Amino acid sequence: MLWEFTFRLFLAGILGAVIGLEREYRAKEAGFRTHFLVSLGSALIMIVSQYGFEGVLGENGIGLDPSRVAAQVVSGIGFIGAGTIIIQRQFVRGLTTAAGIWATSGIGLAIGGGLYGVGIVATTFTLLGLELLSIIFRKVGMHSISLEFCTSEENNLKKITEKITSANGRFVSYSVKKEISEDKILYHVSMVVKTRDNRDEKELILFLQGQPNLIIEKIE
């Protein structure tokens, strides 16, 4: 029995690490170590839930639901997932990674319960969804880019706005702070823009770099 439990923990950790490697490759908030531990921990809790209370089940007046301990993984994993979500100026990041952690915990529970085929198939579908859907939406979906820059030319603001609008871009958020000093006025701009593809993003960045008296402070 010990060897079987060891195999379940090992397989759960490997499957979680595979999903984590994909996230690590894309430089996301949670990488292969986080996914490895989530899957391993979920499998361990499932094993404990199934077999950890066998010694007291036969005693009078004691009844246990083996699914209750494992069920807490689903709600508890939300705390880890919430830590990967970043909200900044109406720009939300980390939702896919949080969902991946949640799916990884489910895979760990499946492997811990001895459902090897289900866990492997779920891992395959998760990787296909992360990679295949990324390719599809890279072509047909919209991309978000967060920009921060400062300029002393007020006319630059109008030109940049017209450039984004003419390229069928969409503003998610836009804010301007005016800083007045003794000899000049600086405009600090923060914006989140949705574009059709990566080429539009590159064109926008090149356009910003070509404007006079403009300094790009941050690109995400």
**Structural domain boundaries of the chain?**
2-140, 143-219
Q: Between β-strands 86-88 and 91-93, what pairing exists: parallel, antiparallel or unpaired?
A: antiparallel
Q: What is the pLDDT of residue 6?
A: 92
Q: Is the pTM of this model over 0.85?
A: no
Enter the CATH code of domain 143-219.
3.30.70.2690
Q: What number is the average pLDDT over the span 89-94? A: 61
Asked whether the beta carbons of 148 and 218 are under 8 A apart, the reply is yes
pLDDT in tens, 109-162: 999 989 999 999 999 999 988 887 767 666 666 677 778 888 888 888 888 888
Q: Tokens standing for 112?
A: 């811990």
pLDDT tens digit string along 2-33? 889 999 999 999 999 999 888 777 666 677 88
pLDDT at residue 177, as a whole number: 87
Q: How far apart are CA 180 and CA 137, in angstroms?
A: 43
The CA-atom distances, in angstroms, between 40 and each of 15, 66, 154 are 9, 19, 55
Which pLDDT value is given to residue 169?
Answer: 79
d(Cα 75, Cα 67) in Å, to the nearest integer? Answer: 13
Mean pLDDT (whole number) for 193-201: 75
Q: Which amino acid is at 159?
A: K
pLDDT of residue 60 exceeding 70: no
Mean pLDDT lowest among 63-77, 124-138, 180-194: 63-77
Predicted pLDDT of residue 100? 87
- Residue 173 — very low, low, confident or very high, per pLDDT cuts 50/70/90? confident
Percent of the chain residues past pLDDT 90, beyond the cut:
20
Contact 130, 25 (CB under 8 A): no
